[in-house]
Structure 1
Amino acid sequence: MTCSSRMAVGADVHAWGTWGGPGRERHATDRAHRGDTRPLSCQSVVVTAQTALKQALRDTFGHDARRHGYKGSAPTWRKASAQGDWAIVNVQSASWSSSERLRCVVNISVAPEPWLRWQSHLLGAAMPKNVTEHLGLFRDRVHPAGSPPGADAWWEVTDEASAARTVAGIAEQLELGVWTQLDELLTPSGMLRTVRANNLGHIHGEAHEVFFARAEALLLMDAGESARLETCLARALDGVIPTQRANAEAFDRWVRVQAAG
């Protein structure tokens, strides 16, 4: 039955009050007062910005992620290595977004197994089965093309068309070396190189010398005791501020136990 024919039938039924009860009659009357005489099934469905983005990610970006070996669904995809390291790609929506307007950005993260092991010890709890983006040792963001250097620019979604453009832009940015970068960081040698370059995404530069010394020690400890490991542990202790000395010594002891085991 077409919308026009259903409209005719619906009008007769509503007139007799025998279909849907008084609640539906009031609804029909309200719509008539607004000048909309179509039956409910012929009304246009308003798609929220959240739904539009989720559908676009599912229909297009999800295929890209799986092609690169990732599993999951919007907004998060993960890839694990044989060593238990994890790479995570997460499309984060701003908490202040509305149903009409949404802003989003891509978080990328890599969590080596030794780092997760230390976090588990530190927190006194097992790591979640599905490692989340914020647990990464390496963490960074992917921004829209043309964003000024250092600017925390986000994509904006208002409807299905802008959602499709956003997801296409995200896919394009990740194809410009991001997938390759994540694969490199999933290897022990790749992560070690970026740690020694003092670049873990959000954390970078010589001002974080103690953090990088600890990170390198974690990546080296499973190979056993070595001169390089001793150097890293010494740097981690020498550079720590007095109020963090106890924590630094606890880290030193734990790493030595791992290296000896």
Structure 2
Amino acid sequence: MTAQIALREALRDVVGPAARVHGFSGSGGNWRRSNALGDWAIVNVQSSSFSNRERLRCVINLSLAPRPWLDWQERTLGRLPKPIPESLGLYRRRLHPTGAPPGSDGWWEITGRRDSAAAVRDMAARLADDGWPFLTALLDRERMTEQIRSRDLGFIRGDENAGYLARAEAAMLSEHGRSDELDRLLETVATEPQRENAMEFVRWARERAGTRR
């Protein structure tokens, strides 16, 4: 049995049922859940490109893609892929094996059926503790906006990313029409180094807000 097959079967038997309990659907290492507003929570088990039949390394990606952010992505991409990939999320981070040093990019390693079962049990525990419930909470728009205002979008956080965080919050606020707060955020966006893209976003957000009264 290859490492890939061992992982796939263990995910099917252990993580798949847990995903369904939490309202997520999918298979093969990808599970998704949406809300009535069109926001998507995504869990993805990513295998390293350096894996082979005998040894496989993998990590869990968590992603939350609010519909306003996806609408901006559609503006830039022309068309959104189906299904929505975790890479298009506004909030993105990884879950690592239990015991991985803080700040390290630890991955699970699988060589066959026995260690795949142990690895996937640990994945299931990490998801139960800090995966399914966290993403489910972010499917609430108020909670997602609070997350943005906490200056923490997983991989992107802190004052050094002020322009990106302002863009994220502006996308969410554009749903509610024009406001002084939206204008303030867009002024910050306009100072981003990639000025052409920044000004395109400003135009998009103002157009979007203008159609929502």
2: CA distance between counterparts of 1:70 and 1:61? 11
Secondary structure of the residue that 2:196 maps to in structure 1? helix
Which position in structure 2 is the counterpart of 1:52? Answer: 6
1: CA distance between counterparts of 2:198 and 2:96? 35
How much does 1:87 deviate? 0.5
Residue number among 181, 191, 195 corresponding to 1:245 in the alignment: 195
2: CA distance between counterparts of 1:104 and 1:254? 37
1: CA distance between counterparts of 2:169 and 2:57? 36
Residue number among 123, 129, 154 corresponding to 2:107 in the alignment: 154
Which position in structure 2 is the counterpart of 1:117? Answer: 71
Q: State TM-score, norm by structure 2.
A: 0.96
How much does 1:159 deviate? 1.0
- Count of aligned positions: 211
Which position in structure 1 is the counterpart of 2:177? Answer: 224
Q: Deviations over 1:158-182 (max 9, x none)?
A: 1101010011000001111322110
How much does 1:228 deviate? 1.1
Paired-residue identity, %: 47
Kindly indicate which of the two structures has a greater share of residues assigned to helix.
Answer: 1
1: CA distance between counterparts of 2:147 and 2:49? 31
2: CA distance between counterparts of 1:210 and 1:62? 38
Which position in structure 2 is the counterpart of 1:70? Answer: 24
Q: State TM-score, norm by structure 1.
A: 0.79
Secondary structure of the residue that 1:191 maps to in structure 2? helix
Point out where structure 2 has 5 or more consecutive residues left out of the alignment. none
2: CA distance between counterparts of 1:85 and 1:177? 19
Residue number among 80, 99, 108 corresponding to 1:127 in the alignment: 80
> Which is higher, the Rg of structure 1 or of structure 2?
1
Matched AA of 1:84:
G
Matches within 5 A, 1:193-204: 193-204=146-157
Tell me whether 1:140 sits opposite 2:93 in the alignment. Answer: yes
Tell me whether 1:260 sits opposite 2:213 in the alignment. Answer: no
Which position in structure 2 is the counterpart of 1:89? Answer: 43
Matches within 5 A, 1:204-219: 204-219=157-172
Secondary structure of the residue that 2:131 maps to in structure 1? helix
Which position in structure 1 is the counterpart of 2:143? Answer: 190
Matched AA of 2:177:
G
1: CA distance between counterparts of 2:96 and 2:69? 26
Root mean square deviation, CA, Å:
0.9
Secondary structure of the residue that 1:149 maps to in structure 2? coil
2: CA distance between counterparts of 1:254 and 1:173? 38
Secondary structure of the residue that 2:26 maps to in structure 1? strand
2: CA distance between counterparts of 1:245 and 1:230? 17
Matched AA of 1:60:
V
How much does 1:128 deviate? 2.1
1: CA distance between counterparts of 2:45 and 2:56? 12
- Higher RCO by CA contacts (8 Å cutoff, separation 6 or greater): 2
Point out where structure 1 has 5 or more consecutive residues left out of the alignment. 1-46
- Ranges of 4+ aligned residues in structure 1 off by more than 6 Å: none
